[in-house]
Amino acid sequence: MIRIEQEEKVLYMLANCFNEFCKLETQHPDEMNDFKDGIHKCQYVLAMRFAREYKPELFPTYKGK
């Protein structure tokens, strides 16, 4: 069984962070896209952690290097 509870918790925190950011008054026309891109980059990192847990032979882990 894949144990990814902490990663899932972080994903929900990112969603909450984005939702809170959306409530802020805009200061610059690019800031929403920049923030969204940052969230997507974080989600990508977490998705790769899921992939490594699910298929370690396809997505190798380099622990301690």
Give the per-residue SS3 of 28-60: CCCHHHHHHHHHHHHHHHHHHHHHHHHCCCCCC
Q: What is the pLDDT along the chain (65 residues), one digit of tens a residue?
A: 567 899 999 999 999 999 999 999 999 999 999 999 999 999 999 999 999 989 999 998 887 75
User: What is the 8-class DSSP label of residue 64?
Assistant: T
pTM, entire model: 0.83
pLDDT of residue 4: 84
Residue with tokens 């690019």: 30
pLDDT of residue 23: 98
pLDDT of residue 65: 58
